[in-house]
């Protein structure tokens, strides 16, 4: 029976990534320190220096990712002097020059973001999940994240028009087409690219923990059991913990000993492969719903 490994590394990912083999990782899922925003906890990087700081890391990530693997980057630009800084946009452009394809962008809608009042904007309730790949063809297991059809099907499929019964070619000439009637009698549909998840509320002794459902969804979508998942900014170890629970091997790198120790509490270096019955996020009533908790 296969063993599942979790390799937790204490150190700076700018150095430690060099020790990983070429083309060895199936999914990189990470949330790096945001520009300056958490300076008091683990040292922020000035927004103007962010791209310069990050590019050597993305070069290493490009090297270690398998040709059919995926890199998902959870990031959000901060407001500097009253406007959104452009470092994320600049980073995307530079990563494309580095050889990455910017394949997709998912949105994490934070269902429970706290209310507030600002003179020139509303509360920030979403973050980007930028998807990058090395190739246009990559592993993607779409059936693993299907969602119940729900009310939409009842409403939409009740009164089908003539167009709904035939293949309706895309108006933008993409060559894609849809036939709404195909969905009659089906219980599940493919999700869209917005994930409605509450932020982590459990006290994990880390100031920037993301909810377990976030890596879980992408691990389901882009990996299968025994694949390798990497989080170069591991923090409290959420990505690796979820990967282990889902029978994926993982590598996590964390620069601060206190967070590294936090991750070690419930992640074991080698675990038995076990049979997991994963519930879809939607079954928890979370992912598909835009209602606040």
CB of 222 to ligand SAM, least distance (A): 17
State which residue, 56 or 285, has the beta carbon closest to ligand SAM: 56
Neighbours of 203 (CB within 10 A): 7
Residue whose CB is less far from ligand SAM, 75 or 280? 75
The residue among 261, 212, 226, 188 whose CA lies nearest residue 29 is 212
Closer Cβ to ligand SAM, 16 or 224, answer by number: 16
- Number of other residues whose CB lies within 10 A of the CB of residue 141: 12
Residue 36 beta carbon to ligand SAM: minimum distance, rounded to whole angstroms: 13
Give min distance, CB of 15 to ligand SAM, in A: 8
Instruction: Give whichever of 70 and 74 is closer to ligand SAM, judged by the CB atom.
Output: 74
- Give me the sign of the Cα torsion angle 291, 199, 194, 153: negative
Q: 110 φ, ψ to 5°?
A: -85, 105
Nearer to ligand SAM, 199 or 249 (CB): 199
C-alpha to C-alpha distance for 283 and 104, rounded to whole angstroms: 25
Give 29 or 153: the residue with its C-beta nearer to ligand SAM: 29
**Minimum distance between the CB of residue 258 and ligand SAM, rounded to whole angstroms?**
9
Least distance (Å) between residue 46 CB and ligand SAM: 14
Of 33 and 47, which has the nearer Cβ to ligand SAM? 33
Cβ atoms within 10 Å of 245's Cβ, excluding its own: 18
Interface residue list for ligand SAM (CB under 6 A): 12-14, 31-33, 42, 206, 208-210, 233, 235-236, 238, 253-256, 259
Give me the least distance between CB of 253 and ligand SAM, in Å please. Answer: 5
Q: Provide, rounded to whole angstroms, the least separation between the CB of residue 235 and ligand SAM.
A: 3
Instruction: State in angstroms the smallest separation of the CB of 204 from ligand SAM.
Output: 7
Q: Which is nearer to ligand SAM, 138 or 210 (CB)?
A: 210
């Amino acid at each position: 029976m296969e063993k599942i490994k979790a390799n937790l590394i204490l150190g700076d990912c700018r150095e430690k990534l060099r020790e990983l083999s070429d083309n060895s990782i199936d999914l990189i899922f990470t949330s790096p320190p945001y520009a300056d925003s958490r300076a008091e906890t683990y040292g922020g990087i000035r927004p103007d220096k962010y791209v310069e700081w990050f590019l050597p890391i993305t070069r290493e990530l490009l090297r270690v990712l398998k040709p059919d693997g995926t890199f998902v980057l959870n990031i959000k630009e901060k407001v500097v002097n009253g406007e959104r800084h452009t470092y994320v946009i600049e980073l995307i452009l530079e990563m494309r020059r580095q050889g990455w394809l910017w394949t997709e962008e998912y949105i994490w809608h934070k269902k429970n973001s706290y209310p507030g009042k600002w003179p020139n904007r509303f509360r920030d309730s979403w973050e980007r999940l930028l998807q990058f790949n090395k190739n246009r063809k990559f592993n993607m297991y779409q059936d693993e994240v299907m969602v119940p059809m729900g009310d939409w099907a009842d409403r939409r499929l009740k009164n089908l028009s003539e167009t709904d019964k035939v293949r309706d070619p895309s108006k933008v000439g993409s060559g894609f087409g849809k036939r709404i009637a195909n969905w009659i009698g089906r219980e599940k549909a493919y999700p869209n690219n917005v994930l409605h998840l509450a932020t982590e509320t459990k006290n994990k002794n880390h100031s920037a923990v993301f909810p377990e459902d976030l890596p879980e969804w992408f691990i389901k979508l882009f990996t299968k059991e025994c694949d390798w998942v990497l989080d170069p900014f591991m923090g409290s170890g959420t990505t690796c913990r979820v990967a282990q629970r889902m029978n994926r091997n993982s590598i996590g790198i964390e620069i601060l000993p206190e967070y590294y120790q936090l991750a070690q509490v419930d992640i074991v270096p080698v675990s038995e492969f076990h049979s997991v019955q994963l519930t879809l996020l939607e079954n928890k009533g979370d992912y598909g719903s835009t209602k606040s908790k």
